[in-house]
Structure 1
């Protein structure tokens, strides 16, 4: 049976191979271990294997894990990657280091107001609905710049880039098309604003296409921690 440490090593090898295949440097791409629904013991096991970036989808679950683990492992970087209701922004503002799923000015404004002055600005990504599916959150590509301009005026937020969840498909051509569109938007954003360095896209099933099209952070959950409970 493989351990969490084994699976992190396998995931990192996949990232490295995908990067080299398209003439990129492997250390350009970060692994975000998606630890939602998993117990703190699994996070500790991943930490002991060298993993430092963890993604959580649920506010209360993430808050509990951070409160428990931060005193013991202060160098863990906590990323919120799920949908966020406006009445739960305070928890994210006060506990997380990153927020990947901003798609409304109202959410950005609340996070900015509620971020404690004792903490560094909250790193944020704009979520883009690249697949244009009504069931998914995110702004249209045409709305990215307007939201970026709004966020850039907020002192307690630091805009780092874009995030997307593309169409779940085995159609490589469609994967490539959506990732390429997102990368184009990311490059335009990087030409306009400083600190733009994060293109959060790609999971286990589309990792190669994502990296080929410029991803700097891939989100991997079940391939590391096993199926969700």
Structure 2
């Protein structure tokens, strides 16, 4: 009889939950609340990756471009023009790349669903109800995320006339935003905060330092701008 009861519990978990509530209602109330509040963080991975990648790419790319121009030009106008050109070019590139990538994924998924339905002799209604990626939405989201990150160094340095202060402000703003991105990614994805922040901040610093240093080196080697 005991073995039969154990078998029933394995086959129907709800019986086990009911019996546990009878034995210890307060304890199992917390367990049920924990189960209800449990989040599958892997579900967030795709949109979180795309949003953070776009914003981080815009921030670091435009800031590095402005630092590279700032290595050889002291005028604020030159840095702003370079940054604005980088914002437009980068946003367009992200949008086009995401559109092509998601459209390819969409075609593959639709073709796979049609093959499955053909084997199962299903109807087209299942294909219409299935959730398939939207290339236009993905392209717009990527462009907006890139632009949101890119506008930070542009706005932050637009009204600073002093050359050295301007460069320092760009580095400081980028560093703060990178920390914010690292914290946001860690909190939403339930990953270590320090490791996440260190990864994005060090990567951003390396990009700006390399762009600044290599541009300075090329110009000092005799290339006129």
Q: Which category of TM-score, normalised to the shorter sequence, fits these structures? A: under 0.3
Whichever structure has more helix as a proportion of its residues is 2
TM-score, normalising length: structure 2: 0.24
Instruction: Name which structure has the greater RCO, CA cutoff 8 Å, separation 6+.
Output: 2
What TM-score, normalized by structure 1, do the two folds share?
A: 0.23
> Which structure shows the higher strand fraction?
1
Q: Which has the larger radius of gyration?
A: 2
